[in-house]
Structure 1
């Protein structure tokens, strides 16, 4: 653990010089969104008796806790792990979900008792994200994958201040992939062999001319009927259909079973876009800051909204590219929706 943290800090020490070179590049994010708007981070943190120098320390705490959570996940036996149904058979929670969140909450609030905590499994009725520093936790994002033994699942931890993510940690213990980001310091992927690389993995992202060039992520969710389901499946079909038949003819569609990892895969450049309506703040909070720090943008899944909120349940993540290309891909998919909208 100490070697991993030291290696990550060495990489972070290069962030300032890399950021300055990125400012002179023609690769940029798309229109400013609520969570990516210019922020005087030092001033904002000072209101809560925090400094920017605290952020790497908090991140290292989150990494250590995420790795403990990962060991709990790997050591668990999903075949005997008691699971409960939330809304239907595709919306499940296991005892490991609950145990991981209890551990995360206990360790974080012990270290930072003045911070708030918002977790998927311990959410109180009516609890909303506030302005105060808040840890946001999804103990196992991809619970169905976990139950089936499919190794695409992760623990997702984030810190928000004034409803904006400033630290994100997403860890898949089955692959050994650790995605991290701190506001204004870049996003990184540390792999199982201990190597750390800045995101996106391509220093100069490939052109993003249209949806026709895109590998698209869509998750199916647990709501399998009604207008939202009809919209989701209709757009998926249009994206896959040939242009001669009125479709977008994307390269293909992927459903990874984890919104947190979808965001990270877009940040890395493994996916081009992720269009999603219906997941929750804990599914996307950490991935959001990781994507933004990798030069990506988050718009709304519904047309016309460039300012989605963390709690809005409507997300359209686009990888790093030239600003005009990011805008173009977003508007192209919005155009396929016509006057249809997700409603939650």
Structure 2
């Protein structure tokens, strides 16, 4: 198998992201209503499936030797391997899409040996494109190098804007870890909390990660993400100078001071 041409793959994914954006922006009201995968907070529409079909068909035609791993066609019987693989979320932020809240995107990643190598994230509502190739930097709208904004030096979580998500699991141990952690992060220092400056929930893991890469959000903490939620954003954030670590303490070595401080406020361990 020939060595993947990362620049060509990058440009191909951008073209497909724009085509996916046209499908999303031209979506008609779904009179049948969205389908539920698990519960009323875990939804899928005909447009999720249409976008993934368009992307998978196009990629298989151009790159027949590469694997494809998409949210809507995922099966536990075909796990992610070390082979060069396209990792795709056709609409990340489906609930936002259903409610016309302008924070949904198409997330297109490419991994080699399970390492995110090319990433493209496109929000068709705002026509905002984030993209990166490993070792070549990250960009917004192809010509603006990330991060765009150099945030004030973080002397601790008390001046951090933190992105969080509630997820679709609203009971059980992981829900308890999340809600207790949110409370601890938001509480005053006098009450043993971090007193973070504020929280944001954009409803899209990929856009949360890109917001950190851009420099408008300082930290994003989440549990329960799948590879299609984070692959593209992972490359973009790394190339912007950011850092992705385990959601639980102790998963990585030699972490930065802010990560260690954040881990100190996690109330339990996420299990997925």
- TM-score per shorter chain, which class? over 0.9
Corresponding residue number in structure 1 for 2:144: 197
The equivalent position to 1:72 in structure 2, one of 14, 19, 23, is 23
Corresponding residue number in structure 2 for 1:21: none
Shift in Å, 1:94 = 0.2
Give the match's secondary structure for 1:299.
Answer: coil
Shift in Å, 1:83 = 1.4
What is the 5 A alignment of 1:182-193? 182-190=133-141
Normalised TM-score (structure 1)? 0.77
Q: Which one is further off, 205-214 or 90-99?
A: 205-214
Deviations 1:56-76 (A, max 9, x none): 111111000010000000000
Shift in Å, 1:206 = 3.0
Matches of 1:78 and 1:164 in 2, distance apart? 38
The answer to whether the Cα contact below 8 Å between 1:70 and 1:172 also exists between their aligned partners in 2 is: yes
Corresponding residue number in structure 1 for 2:212: 266
Establish whether residue 172 from structure 1 lines up as the match of residue 123 from structure 2.
Answer: yes
The alignment covers a number of residue pairs equal to: 272
The equivalent position to 1:83 in structure 2, one of 34, 49, 53, is 34
The equivalent position to 1:139 in structure 2, one of 81, 85, 90, is 90
Establish whether residue 295 from structure 1 lines up as the match of residue 241 from structure 2.
Answer: yes
Runs of 4+ residues deviating >2 angstroms: 77-82
Matches of 1:300 and 1:236 in 2, distance apart? 17
Give the match's secondary structure for 1:169.
Answer: strand
Uncovered stretches (5+) of structure 1, i.e. residues with no partner: 1-47, 308-323
Matches of 1:305 and 1:157 in 2, distance apart? 26
The answer to whether the Cα contact below 8 Å between 1:167 and 1:182 also exists between their aligned partners in 2 is: yes
Q: Which structure has greater helix proportion? A: 1
Deviations 1:23-48 (A, max 9, x none): xxxxxxxxxxxxxxxxxxxxxxxxx4
Matches of 1:131 and 1:198 in 2, distance apart? 30
Shift in Å, 1:77 = 2.3
Give the match's secondary structure for 2:264.
Answer: helix
Corresponding residue number in structure 2 for 1:20: none
The equivalent position to 1:112 in structure 2, one of 42, 59, 63, is 63
The answer to whether the Cα contact below 8 Å between 2:107 and 2:228 also exists between their aligned partners in 1 is: yes
Deviations 1:156-209 (A, max 9, x none): 00110010011000000000100000010000001xxxx72100113x553122
Matches of 1:240 and 1:186 in 2, distance apart? 33
Matches of 1:261 and 1:181 in 2, distance apart? 14
The equivalent position to 1:128 in structure 2, one of 51, 59, 79, is 79
The answer to whether the Cα contact below 8 Å between 2:151 and 2:216 also exists between their aligned partners in 1 is: no
The answer to whether the Cα contact below 8 Å between 1:259 and 1:283 also exists between their aligned partners in 2 is: yes
The equivalent position to 1:163 in structure 2, one of 100, 114, 133, is 114
The answer to whether the Cα contact below 8 Å between 2:91 and 2:105 also exists between their aligned partners in 1 is: yes
Corresponding residue number in structure 1 for 2:201: 255
Give the aligned CA root-mean-square deviation in angstroms: 1.5
The answer to whether the Cα contact below 8 Å between 1:81 and 1:94 also exists between their aligned partners in 2 is: no
Normalised TM-score (structure 2)? 0.96
Matches of 1:262 and 1:69 in 2, distance apart? 20
Corresponding residue number in structure 1 for 2:259: 330
The equivalent position to 2:153 in structure 1, one of 207, 210, 214, is 207
Establish whether residue 225 from structure 1 lines up as the match of residue 153 from structure 2.
Answer: no
Matches of 2:178 and 2:169 in 1, distance apart? 10
